[in-house]
Amino acid sequence: MVFLFCLKRGKIKLLSLEKKLKVFEVICGDWDYRNIDMTEPHLQGIQIIDNHHIGISCEVFSPDLDEYVSCDGGIVDDKKLVKKFKKLNLDKQDEVLNFISDINFLIDWDKVDNDLYGQVELEKINMRDEENIEENFEKNEEFDDYYEDDAIIIPAEKLGEGWNWHKYSDGSGHLESPDGEEYMSYDLQTNEYKITNKSSYDFFPLSYYYIDGVDPSEFNPFEYMENEMIDFVLPREEKNEEISL
């Protein structure tokens, strides 16, 4: 009987901690309470792991997306800080803000900045591509273009007559040649593509990994893949050279 009572007490404590963590996350996202600019990376919330570790999440509000984007802020091993949170009085603003400052001090903000920037740019690319799909869908309706297996068939811009993109609603698709050969299978959700069915997938060259002076928000995956066809694939096929990636 005592053992069951202890389990129940433990469960109650766990639920109480979970509720406290949720309230703390609401506080972290309150612009007025924290008096900070939410368009700058900031603490989103924490998780308590095995009473020794604190999992941190960070976020930023993107005016371009009109929504928050979040990322992993790391895990710290600090038993004293865990105890401090458990004793934290959420009704006392000074205590809460001091605790947030303690967490902020442990965050690698350079990494968080890069991660959040990459997430925002990727979401902008996906959003722009969805807009392009919708725009092309409307054009296809006007000109009575054709569809195949729920794919939208859109002529390639640079490769000439008979080259068509097959775009699916889930963000995947491929390029098809006039003789029915498939190239450039892609997945915009995972940011990957492969040149031929025999090639392996590779990531599109975007986000903060590619510091080459090009704004990642201007990256167009379809223009990039068509240029790959023109500059890399077709010249090698003409010379009967093997294509690998």
Query: What's the order of all strands across the beta sheet hosting 67-77?
Result: 42-49, 53-62, 67-77
pLDDT for 242 equals: 67
186 Cβ contact partners less than 8 Å away, ≥ 6 residues apart: 172, 173, 174, 192, 193, 194, 221, 225
pLDDT for 106 equals: 94
pLDDT for 139 equals: 55
Assess contact for 187 and 237: CB atoms under 8 A: no
Show the tokens assigned to 21.
């963590």
Q: Are strands 151-155 and 147-148 parallel, antiparallel or unpaired?
A: antiparallel
Tell me the pLDDT tens digit for each residue of 81-124: 999 999 999 999 999 999 999 999 999 999 999 998 888 888 88
pLDDT for 31 equals: 86
- Ranges of H-type helices in 109-242: 109-142, 221-228, 234-238
Q: What is the CA radius of gyration of the chain?
A: 25
Q: What residues does each domain of the chain span?
A: 27-107, 143-238
pLDDT for 143 equals: 43
Residue 227 burial (CB count, 10 A): 12
pLDDT for 93 equals: 94
Q: Within 13 A of 139's CA, how many CA atoms are on the CB side?
A: 10
Assess contact for 37 and 23: CB atoms under 8 A: no
State which H helix or E strand residue 202 sits in. Answer: strand 202-203
Q: Which residues of the chain have pLDDT under 50?
A: 1-15, 142-148, 207-210
Tell how far CA 157 is from the center of its chain: 28
